[in-house]
Amino acid sequence: MGKQQEEELDANSVANVKTNTLLQIQSLLPSFTRSEQKVAQIVLTQTESVIYASVIDLAEKAEVGETTVLRFCRKIGFRGYQEFKLALAQELVNPVKNLHGEVGEDDSLGIIAKKVTATNRQAIEDTNALFDMEQLERCVELLNTAGTIHFYGVGTSAMTAQDAKYTCLRIGLRVDAFTESHLQAMAAATLGPGDVAVGLSVSGSTKDTIDSLKVAKEAGATAVCITHYRRSPITNVADITLLTAAQEGPLQGGSLAAKMAQLHVLDVIATALTMQNKEKALTYKERTAKAVLERKY
């Protein structure tokens, strides 16, 4: 990569932090104190009014002290309240909206289709905005040289783990996916230095996946997590954290947007690995395609 490209990537990374404030707040939400969460909810739900509010106004709306508002601003990466408001104002030029949440009972099928499509598209665009290029490059380098790669996931993330396994197999990586807690733990114990374990959890709080990453690390492997929340139990275990933008509530275990966000991260990684190993990847793609050729009509 040339110096100019590196400078452009660095500039884009800085710009992403400053122009995706709402995404950052959503990602950090569980790590805030109860008082800070009150501020966050006001900012997320009343963004337009907040950019015209003083620090005292916001504190009164959230029913917290001014110091809580200032602490909240620093926690999401700003030096003060005015810098925070400026970033919000810039973001309102291209606001992040969850149109899926606005589907109404009276919406026609055509309108519902458009809103769901917009939400899924937004999940990918927002995930791209949250990419930390340094973390992403480290992940690609580790997977490229890994002896063995494991993907761990349960529930909806189990399907993503399986998909990641199939994708990596096609480009010649030594990979497996485990979606049952006991198998995850046993498989993790067989890893060692030079191996990589990837844990998938939208909430970042899936106990089985987190426990398996801990076992893998204790065995000497490097732990990677793909999650929505920047500060969550799984990020405390992982050596590398890759964020996804789409979130899902307790009653949204099958959120397609969240799954698409995970798949987007994995697709970027797989594409980068393919480009770094073109000949090997092409060879294995041909081999795997021939292996299943007779199973098709």
Q: Is residue 121 part of a domain?
A: no
Count: domains in the chain: 2
Gap between the Cα atoms of 80 and 58, Å rounded: 14
CATH number at residue 27: 1.10.10.10
Do residues 80 and 149 share a domain? no
Instruction: Pull the structure tokens for residue 40.
Output: 């966050």
Phi/psi of residue 99, nearest 5 degrees = -65, -25
CATH for 222: 3.40.50.10490
Q: Is residue 114 part of a domain?
A: no
Q: What is the pLDDT along the chain (297 residues), one digit of tens a residue?
A: 444 444 443 434 334 444 488 888 988 888 899 999 999 999 998 988 888 888 888 999 999 999 999 999 999 889 888 888 888 888 776 554 444 456 777 888 998 888 888 888 888 998 998 899 999 999 999 999 999 999 999 988 999 999 999 999 999 999 999 999 999 999 999 999 999 999 999 888 899 999 999 999 999 999 999 998 888 889 999 999 999 987 654 444 557 888 999 999 999 999 999 999 888 888 888 888 888 777 777
Residue 33, domain member (yes or no): yes
Are residue 85 and residue 215 in the same domain, yes or no? no
User: Cβ(47)–Cβ(36) under 8 Å?
Assistant: no
Q: 159 and 92 in one domain?
A: no
pLDDT at 93: 63
pLDDT for res 284: 83
d(CA 250, CA 164): 25
| Backbone torsions φ then ψ of 253, nearest 5 degrees | -60, -20
Shared domain check, 165 and 90: no
Residue 6 lies in a domain: no
138 and 86 part of one domain: no
| Cβ-based burial of 26 (10 A; exposed 0-12, middle 13-18, buried ≥19) | buried
Residues 61 and 151 in one domain: no
Structural domain ending residue among the three candidates 46, 74, 96: 96
Q: Is there a single domain that holds both residue 165 and residue 290?
A: yes
Residue 141 lies in a domain: yes
Is 125 within a domain? no
pLDDT at 201: 93
- 3-class SS at 179? coil
Domain that holds residue 62: 17-96
